[in-house]
Amino acid sequence: ALAREARSLRDLVARSVAARRATPASASRASASKSGPAAPVSQASLTRLTPAAGEVVRRFGQTGAAGTAAGMTIRTRPGAQVLAPSAATISYAGPFRGYGNVLILDVGNDYAVVLTGSSSLLATAGQRVLAGQPVAEMGRDASSAPELYVEVRRSGQPVDPGRWLAAGR
C-alpha cells in the first residue's frame, strides 16, 4: 500500500518511517526479539560501515543527465552483498516505481538510509538489523557492473552520505 500511495522516493521514505514509528510498542518488541536487541543509534554509528564495496561513480550534489544527485552511486561487483551501514529497523523493503528494489532503514535520530539497485532483498519491513548484516544482494549479470544508490536523509531532507560512509571519502 505504501508504494502505491507514495508519489516520490522522498514521499515513500517519509510515509514508511512514519508508519513504522506508529507501530505499537508491543509489535516493535516482538520484532526486536526475533532479530536481535534494539540498540540506540547515533549519527556517529553511520561512520563505520559502507553498504557495499566498490567504486563511487557519482557523488552527492554531482550534476549529470539525471539531474543533481541526492545521494551517491557505488559500482559493485556482480553478486555483491549489501550491508546495513548501521543498526536500524527496516521501514520499507520492496519495489518502487523505476527504482527497482528499495530498502529504507530507519536508523533513528530522524535519519533514514535509502538503498536502491539491488536484485534481491534479504530483509523485510519491520525487521531490526545490525550494522554489517546483509540486507540485499546485487545482480549477478557479469556483462554489466551493478550500481547501488545510497541516500541518507535527515528529517526527510537528503544529506551527503559521504560524511558518514567510508566509501564517500
Give the bridge partners for 68, in sequence order: 63
Find out whether 76 and 114 touch, Cβ atoms under 8 Å. no
Question: 77 is in which domain, residue-wise?
Answer: 2-168
Domain count, the chain: 1
Q: Which residues of 150-163 are buried (b: 16+ CB within 10 A; e: fewer)?
A: bbbbeeeebbbbbe
What's residue 35's pLDDT?
A: 42
Which pLDDT score, from 0 to 100, does residue 26 have?
Answer: 37
Q: What is the 3-state secondary structure (H, E, C) of 11-50?
A: HHHHHHHHHHHCCCHHHHHHHHHHHCCCCCCCHHHHHCCC
pLDDT digits (tens, 9 = 90+) for 123-137: 999 999 999 999 999
CA dist 114 and 165 (Å) reads 13
**What pLDDT band is residue 2 in, cutting at 50, 70 and 90?**
confident
Percent with pLDDT over 70 in the chain: 82
Other CB atoms within 10 A of residue 72 CB: 23
Residue type, 72: M
Instruction: Please tell me the pTM assigned to this model.
Output: 0.82
Taking the CA atoms of residue 160, residue 59, residue 112 and residue 159 in that order, the dihedral angle to the nearest 10 degrees is 20
pLDDT in tens, 12-44: 988 888 887 777 553 444 444 344 434 444 544
Given this model, what pLDDT does residue 116 score? 97
- What CATH number did the domain enclosing 113 receive? 2.70.70.10
Cell reading at 151? 541516500
